[in-house]
Structure 1
């Protein structure tokens, strides 16, 4: 269905957006936007390099970036425009002290005052206090214990490492080594100015008391572990870590297990010139961006995801499947197929591999979300069809009980890992989500399998998860606008365009549209329902809403105003500005600004609305 904007501005915006997107393609065929998070990534990089004796050459440029993110009240936040966050502020402060900023500097005094006023060091998350312990600023005795013996537990035992989501699993194994060996590289300063009163006592239910009792017992065990068992566990953890290093030097292509694996292997005696450590440090350099703003680290990189979305966007815009940009992007995607077994095979030992990763190199952890989008791109581009066939089979084999799909694992839904005192830093399991399931359903519809048993179970799951007001929770994007923008096109593709759930979703979108015509949702909605569908308009979130509106056949004022907002806010070079974080790592705790989202999603939305208006150019 085509939306008529009186001066053709939608078509003009589409043309400029496509030109900009084409200009961002790498000569090898892929796209990758910067993946921006928060300053804990840079702070922890300085902590690691202090520990390794490599601080001097990077501290000034990194400190410049960290300072540039500080706000007027002295704090740092976890997302653009968000509230002050205590642990993030403490890590930023300590990193600046490492870089040489004096405690009595005005910006440091403001930060220290905020830290004291919001609880002080004792109120920070466990992750932060573990970093402080590494620096000699906190005691390892005062953080929860992660025994390396955990790696010896069979996969089906509660609280085995396979009870955790893949990102937490990799971090837990590395941290269990560090927890046992307790390395310390002291800094030359104290941070007594950050100490407030005692941390407030949190109310605990029965399970909370059980797990805190378990932690006390583990602390007693740490004083006298069973030596043969401890040696065996450390050897097993070492093998587990080394075996899972990726070709690019990373662990899982993400920062937390990467940096802690380096610390763990160093504690086990690996020298800095060991090939494993050198690969790890070289890989971190590839995740580093340095420009006039300073030096910053990408917590992850998203080339497969970005490229799949870019190919789909160009096809939505009407480019011919034979266009060079489409073909080269699709061919690069086909070459990223994972043909080896990873941790997912513990639950699916007989399932042949065939997924796609998020990153350049992450063979151990392909994910369902990327794989579904890659299949959509390959099918529409008519490239890599054998790889697409294998990918569909792999995705079907990764369906969880209840009909939904998760990102990396199957039935990874235990509530026990999140009860551990250590796990106060975000999601540690990988249950099914509506957004991933919706992308799979779109893939199955394109495959002609919308009536399959797997699709019917997936549809039932999505319908069950709709909120009372008509939206869907977004696990990997912010938040109900993302979930709804994924669910509605999927349901329509599967033949449910007239279903009352679609009608309710479109009503909800109309109700939350901003006065300026755009859509936005603040990330505080993950903790406070009052923020659902509320926030400053952004290009990516407006495009998500338009994808749902268009799929449902909505051609009225809501759609018209949203298209107008995209056209009016586009920059002369065809880009959209979007300082806000609209991607989600851990709901409520860790967020992402995907710099390519502001380009690919508006191009997709405008392309579909304009009827693929670029023709066969």
Structure 2
């Protein structure tokens, strides 16, 4: 069957769509682990690899083999101008370039080599080390390359602040909280290991510019407070400081996960190990040994074109998220719910349900646990976004133990609904994590340190609750209202965890329609018009990650990608749009499918911290096109 488009655009052959879909599904099935899960690589920038080497240097466990293998990966990602970026083809980043340069020097690269002198020149012109972000300066302070006196003070006494007091640790997002607590120990002890070499060549050739928020009243207050804390740092109340550090260490140890890590992400993991080492824990202590060993599971080793080993470090891993998305894609592709591979995935997911109470209970103490985390092991921090996706995935599956499945779904629905914030929206990990004060701290130069409700997360939850029937209708109504109130003036929605307005719009429109909003509603029509204006001449959609810093210049604008084209098509499909615009998008996907059944996507389309840290999910380029093609094929049948 061929769908004819009156505009003169080349007709879309539905047989070609179904063939592409079948090839993609077959490829997905090949990627399933024997245990039932799917997991694609989660690729970030080379700071992960540089910091891994500096971490091992600090603990005295770095090997030459590790160093050279990591250095090859770092060098392979350097651009012709000598710099590194936070995402492919992004602007040169000072902090990433500093850390990469130091790592290569640690690996023995000659500072006089062309690629090193180019990097050093960029660093000098960018203001040198003093102009780097706080985390970079912390790593350099560990070796005396930067003064602790010039870093913000993080007093461990913060652990004594009650949960209602401003700037207590639970005012920060879980990822920031888990990083700050160990850094309070580090900041207090101010360790300096012997520097393996000087970095005099990185001295700036210009003055360091002042902070962008220099005139913000709260920022001025906290800078003044930081000056006071620097004085207190010199003469702390010794018994109080000692007790605070012990309490912080205990807080850290209590939150170590089964895989040896903390929160399933790199920053709190390595800082927690450093903090505990400084507190006197030997490397062979079970907590330390398990933590160091667990890092191996986040390390990928392959070979370059010359057959030399390359080593790179994943900042995080996404098996639960990838498995949930894959099941939804298989549902959309028409794979039977009783397919053994689907049932095996459902069984694995139900085994991964988190029944323990985590930090989320600080704000929701009476809520029964029942959700999922992003990673293999992160029981302290399940998140609402993963849970919403898993619920929709499990509903589709025909698991033989129907009673168990129903109980799991019931707990997850109640937990997710209960994690709603007071304004009617949902954040990812915590409810009502909306304080603006943490953003004003001198420490907070890395973007997202709180976890307020976002359009993409709220949309996924609204879609999940609405799809489950009328039980949570009041939550759905409030969520829809929240989404309507947060639509951008141009008709799009902001994407917190994916790039960016295309991701947000691709999540919100299907959610609104599932919730009962008429596709003819003005909000949906405005979203459709926005997507139409953002379609590239080649028929696809793309959005550069610079849209977070410069939405006016980059919103919905960028080289076409498979995942972002699919997000746009999911929104258009939900809105009932099957004409020329959608047809061109479908054609873009079918024409660009590779021989394996997937799609090539070198671009980063995932977000860790808007403006600062981005992710290339290797599964996105496969699961989202399957969803889009599957829904199109089912509708046009």
Q: SS of the counterpart of 2:537?
A: coil
Task: Show the counterpart of 1:221.
Answer: 232
Aligned-pair distance for 1:382? 3.7
Task: Show the counterpart of 1:552.
Answer: 575
Aligned-pair distance for 1:385? 2.3
Of residues 495, 498, 514, the one that matches 2:536 is: 514
Of residues 33, 36, 43, the one that matches 1:36 is: 43
Aligned-pair distance for 1:117? 1.2
Distance 1:44 1:458, change over 3 A: same
Aligned-pair distance for 1:155? 1.0
Task: Show the counterpart of 2:208.
Answer: 199
Contact 1:372/1:443, CA 8 A, preserved across alignment: yes
Do structure 1's residue 122 and structure 2's residue 138 form an aligned pair?
no
Task: Show the counterpart of 2:8.
Answer: none
Do structure 1's residue 299 and structure 2's residue 298 form an aligned pair?
no
Q: SS of the counterpart of 1:31?
A: coil
CA distance in 2, matches of 1:587, 1:87: 16
CA distance in 2, matches of 1:339, 1:292: 41
Task: Show the counterpart of 1:212.
Answer: 223
Task: Show the counterpart of 2:526.
Answer: 504
Q: SS of the counterpart of 1:150?
A: helix
- Deviations 1:109-139 (CA, angstroms, capped at 9, x unpaired): 0100111111111110111000000122111
Contact 1:339/1:353, CA 8 A, preserved across alignment: yes
Task: Show the counterpart of 2:494.
Answer: 473
Q: SS of the counterpart of 1:424?
A: coil
Task: Show the counterpart of 1:53.
Answer: 60
Of residues 523, 526, 533, the one that matches 2:545 is: 523
Of residues 437, 457, 461, the one that matches 1:436 is: 457
Task: Show the counterpart of 2:103.
Answer: 95
Contact 1:2/1:609, CA 8 A, preserved across alignment: no
Contact 2:39/2:318, CA 8 A, preserved across alignment: yes
- Deviations 1:543-584 (CA, angstroms, capped at 9, x unpaired): 000100111110111100000000111101101011111000
Of residues 269, 274, 279, the one that matches 1:263 is: 274
Q: How does 1:417-496 map to 2 (within 5 A)?
A: 417-449=438-470, 452-496=473-517
Aligned-pair distance for 1:2? 10
Do structure 1's residue 331 and structure 2's residue 353 form an aligned pair?
no
Of residues 571, 575, 593, the one that matches 2:616 is: 593
Q: SS of the counterpart of 1:290?
A: strand
Q: SS of the counterpart of 2:470?
A: coil
Of residues 37, 45, 64, the one that matches 2:72 is: 64
Contact 2:142/2:193, CA 8 A, preserved across alignment: yes
Output the TM-score relative to the length of structure 2.
0.95
Aligned-pair distance for 1:204? 2.4
Of residues 302, 307, 310, the one that matches 2:326 is: 310
Aligned-pair distance for 1:99? 1.1
Contact 1:3/1:610, CA 8 A, preserved across alignment: no
CA distance in 1, matches of 2:178, 2:426: 21
CA distance in 2, matches of 1:204, 1:123: 18
Distance 1:3 1:121, change over 3 A: farther
CA distance in 2, matches of 1:145, 1:234: 14
Distance 1:184 1:305, change over 3 A: same
* Structure 2 stretches lacking a partner, 5+ long: 5-11, 305-309, 400-404
- Deviations 1:420-476 (CA, angstroms, capped at 9, x unpaired): 101101200000001001100111121113871111110000000101110000000
Do structure 1's residue 609 and structure 2's residue 632 form an aligned pair?
yes
CA distance in 1, matches of 2:195, 2:125: 25
Q: SS of the counterpart of 2:607?
A: strand
Contact 2:3/2:13, CA 8 A, preserved across alignment: no
Aligned-pair distance for 1:188? 2.0
Contact 2:35/2:344, CA 8 A, preserved across alignment: yes
Contact 2:2/2:13, CA 8 A, preserved across alignment: no
Output the TM-score relative to the length of structure 1.
0.98
CA distance in 2, matches of 1:7, 1:394: 41
Q: How many residues align?
A: 614
Aligned-pair distance for 1:198? 3.4
CA distance in 2, matches of 1:151, 1:2: 65
Distance 1:572 1:155, change over 3 A: same
Distance 1:288 1:613, change over 3 A: farther
CA distance in 2, matches of 1:322, 1:451: 28
Q: SS of the counterpart of 1:58?
A: helix
Of residues 369, 386, 408, the one that matches 2:429 is: 408
Q: How does 1:224-263 map to 2 (within 5 A)?
A: 224-263=235-274
Taking only aligned residues, the RMSD between alpha carbons, in angstroms, comes to 1.4
CA distance in 2, matches of 1:309, 1:343: 26
CA distance in 2, matches of 1:3, 1:552: 18
Contact 1:607/1:613, CA 8 A, preserved across alignment: no
Distance 1:335 1:7, change over 3 A: closer
CA distance in 2, matches of 1:67, 1:280: 28
CA distance in 1, matches of 2:491, 2:3: 24
Task: Show the counterpart of 1:570.
Answer: 593
